Structure 1
């Protein structure tokens, strides 16, 4: 198991479908995400049941609380290739009461550590909407640095928003003090 101070990361199970469906219906969860078209619970359940196994290039894990073993979100590393030593990170916490309590920070740290140690990645990148200041703060705290910006590339609430490209390299990940 991949464990941190507050969370453990595990493979997604078909039984996670109901939580995924509920999280995707939460406007706060989807606010800064590029969402697919709305899916029914049956479609999400089918997707979970037919999901391919995790691979080097496509790793998605459920975030669980360490104490209660309660599913609270998802993290993933995608697009990894041994030749480049790089992958893209996605993360979201679906359970509102766990946002802002260090769970997201711990989940990203655990996944990045796994990417650097087990997958032998050299760099992990992500895009964050500039107005998503809470996520931006978490990434900075973990050692991610700003590499660039796509201007007005994300539309939400009738407005265009910039996206910031951030990355952390092997050896730059900030561990807990």
Structure 2
């Protein structure tokens, strides 16, 4: 499956993507506002990529590829999808610093939300974002997400500091 826009295409991840994914696990900018695992070796990331489960309604994980040079630049997913409720949770990151701030993430979000609302027939897409991550919150608001609530001091950063998490959501028909 490939979903294409002007700047990016969303595609299934391949085992050979491990070489691109691995360095991002150690990039402090990528991991700053994410829940991170313990360090993984390249071999462990390769194995995870090779054993990645099939994309299903419950979890669709796609690579974000820059169309101009066909370079994997990030990952986006819709997870915990529930057909009975028509809801799913979205996660996204741009791992390649060269492509941050150039509209790639914004387009990837629009494409994935459109896919969720049309192909998956979702009614609502939610996400969680650290309150201090204003750049991400700005992009989310720009494409139609609204803030619904705050989970106080529920995120612990790499320095052990606690931060609030903001719940945001978008309903079908609100995508800008």
TM-score range, shorter chain: over 0.9
Question: Where does residue 143 of structure 1 map in the other structure?
Answer: 144
Q: What displacement does 1:109 show? A: 0.4
In the alignment, the residues of structure 2 paired with residue 36 and residue 23 of structure 1 have an alpha-carbon distance, to the nearest angstrom, of 12
**Structure 1 residue 9: deviation in Å?**
0.2
Aligned to 1:59: 60
1:159 match: 161
Residue 131 (structure 2) pairs with residue 130 (structure 1): yes
Q: State how far apart, in whole Å, the 1-side matches of 2:110 and 2:30 are.
A: 20
Structure 1 partner of 2:79: 78
Q: Quote the offset at 1:166 in angstroms.
A: 0.1
Distance 1:9 1:42 in 2: 25
Instruction: Give the 5 Å matches for 1:9-158.
Output: 9-156=10-157, 157-158=159-160
- Please state how far the C-alpha of 1:160 moved relative to its aligned partner: 1.0
Root mean square deviation of aligned Cα: 0.7
CA distance, structure 2, for counterparts of residue 51 and residue 126 of structure 1: 23
Q: Deviations over 1:22-46 (max 9, x none)?
A: 1111111000000111111110000
| TM-score, normalised relative to structure 1 | 0.97
Q: Secondary structure at the match of 1:39?
A: coil
Where in structure 1 do 4 or more consecutive aligned residues deviate above 2 Å?
Answer: none
Deviates more, 1:107-116 or 1:151-160: 151-160
Gaps of 5+ in 2: none
Unaligned 5+ segments in structure 1 are none
How far apart are the structure 2 equivalents of 1:144 and 1:5?
Answer: 22
Q: TM-score, normalised by structure 2?
A: 0.97
